[in-house]
A and B are shown apart, each in its own frame.
Chain A
Amino acid sequence: SQQGEEDPQALSIQEGENATMNCSYKTSINNLQWYRQNSGRGLVHLILIRSNEREKHSGRLRVTLDTSKKSSSLLITASRAADTASYFCATAGSGAGSYQLTFGKGTKLSVIP
């Protein structure tokens, strides 16, 4: 079963607005990663947050991690039409099989110019 579950499944906003996507997971993790996938393309790594970190920034991206609630959020500020894509969270477990990233089904973000 999928470890990460994104919410919402789809999000439509106007250019310039902020977009927030959430991810929940079930078991303990080593780290959590966010990836972006443009239509017809491969996944591109955006940011990685480790289990002992609570917040991380990269440009217009802000990721938070709450291990007590087993949840993470990805905030994209001042969105642009080029941010239109699907966003996936992926969890790396802390156990013996921790090489494996388990991906959620993604949030489809549409940014309207």
Chain B
Amino acid sequence: DAGVIQSPRHEVTEMGQEVTLRCKPISGHNSLFWYRQTMMRGLELLIYFNNNVPIDDSGMPEDRFSAKMPNASFSTLKIQPSEPRDSAVYFCASSLGLAGGGRPSTDTQYFGPGTRLTVL
């Protein structure tokens, strides 16, 4: 299995530009998570999808952030417009979860390699 795939691995952009991060979860996993990691705040959950449906986006910092999961094998996290304080490593993770919208599993999460975002 290829594991969770994220692209790009590194992104450098200028303030005000739109940034789109991409994630392909492990095939068969029902749950997908987007995290942000910074030295100051550690690892923060931004949004969680179960069966392609956003369940909890309370961690999304503000309206500049949006996430979609159009199908079971693809998700995007978009920042528009980007700001220097958005600089961080963004991780996508997937887990087996539970089908049918039941109470999600809290078992192992599999992380992608991350996207290091630098906003100048």
Contacts and interface: CB of A to CB of B under 8 A. Distances in A.
Contacts of B91: 42-43
A44 interface: yes
A69 interface: no
B111 A44 contact: yes
B103 interface: yes
B109 A100 contact: no
Interface in A75-109: 88, 92, 97-106
A99 B31 contact: yes
Given A99-B104, A105-B42, A42 B113 contact: yes
A104 B42 CA distance: 7
Contacts of A44: 111
Contacts of A41: 113-114
Interface of B: 4, 31, 42-43, 45, 48, 50, 55-56, 91, 93, 97, 103-114
A106 B106 contact: no
B42 A99 contact: no
A92 B109 CA distance: 11
B106 A2 contact: no
A31 B104 CA distance: 13
B43 A45 contact: no
Nearest to A45: B108
B100 to A, nearest CB: 14
Contacts of A35: 111
